[in-house]
């Protein structure tokens, strides 16, 4: 059975109902093929479409239904953020996972923060990608994870959580120290403990803190991503 495109044409075999339609954007052929094979073997993945450039990925996003896009940031003809913007425009409910060889340097534009559900460094284990994809499939279509994981944020101590939430509000280390009445050195110590417990660093730490602040009830709205 063929699926209809947004323009009324045919986009190839339809993704089975209740299965995730995935777009994988990666310009290195070997890596793309290995990742695609991994994704196709996962429960809940109904189709995997490959694209190696921004232009090809944007065209695919416009031509077919998508639930998930896995996007490399550095592509031959531009920045992967352009792909994420196109996916967000065509598929407001779709999730995006960013792949990067320099994850610490990634800054998520504010308007895309709700679409980017994970940032994965290319040096991370393959299981990291599997877990994030599984989480997207479960959120989109339901089901149970293959292995239940405790929320690591719940492992943070009270002061660590206070620092974590202030990171999510866009506060600098000095601002956090002043707001809590502690030294910069103590803030940095708490930050190291947070990194160890959550196993994320840099931009991904900020993204998770921002998301945490955004979804928890609060009278104070979270600050946007720093550019």
Q: How far apart are CA 92 and CA 67, in angstroms?
A: 9
CB 129 within 8 A of CB 97: yes
Interval 153-179: pLDDT, tens:
888 999 999 999 999 899 999 999 999
Q: What is the pLDDT of residue 40?
A: 92
pTM across the whole model:
0.60
The values of phi and psi at residue 54, to 5°, are -60, -45
- Encode 153-212 in three state secondary structure: HHHCCHHHHHHHHHHHCCCCHHHHHHHHCCCHHHHHHHHHHHHHHHCCCHHHHHHHHHHH
Interval 65-85: pLDDT, tens:
999 999 999 999 999 999 999
Which residue numbers in the chain have pLDDT < 70?
Answer: 1-17, 103-105, 143-151, 214-227
Domains and CATH numbers, the chain: 2-141 (3.40.50.2300), 152-215 (1.10.10.10)
As a whole number of Å, the end-to-end CA separation of the chain is 45
Per DSSP, the residues of 105-136 read G----GGGTTTEEEEEETTS-HHHHHHHHHHH
């Amino acid at each position: 059975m063929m699926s209809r495109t947004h323009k009324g044409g045919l986009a190839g075999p339809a993704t089975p109902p209740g299965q995730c339609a995935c777009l994988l954007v990666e310009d290195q052929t070997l890596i793309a093929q290995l990742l695609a094979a991994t994704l196709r073997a996962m429960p809940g993945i109904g189709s995997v479409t490959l694209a190696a450039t921004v232009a090809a990925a944007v065209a695919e996003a416009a031509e077919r239904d998508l639930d998930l896009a896995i996007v490399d940031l550095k592509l031959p003809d531009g920045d992967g953020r352009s792909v994420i913007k196109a996916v967000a425009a065509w598929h407001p409910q779709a999730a995006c996972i960013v792949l990067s060889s320099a994850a610490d340097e990634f800054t998520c534009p504010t308007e895309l923060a709700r679409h980017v559900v994970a940032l994965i460094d290319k040096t991370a284990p393959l299981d990291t990608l599997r877990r994030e994809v599984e989480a997207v499939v479960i959120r989109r279509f339901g089901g149970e994870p293959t292995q239940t994981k405790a929320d690591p944020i719940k492992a943070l101590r009270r002061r660590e959580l206070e620092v974590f939430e202030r990171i999510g509000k866009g506060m600098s280390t000095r601002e956090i120290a002043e707001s809590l009445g502690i030294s910069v050195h103590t803030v940095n110590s708490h930050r190291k403990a947070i990194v160890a417990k959550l196993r994320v660093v840099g931009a991904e730490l900020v993204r998770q803190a921002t998301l945490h602040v955004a979804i928890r009830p609060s009278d104070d709205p979270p600050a946007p991503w720093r550019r």
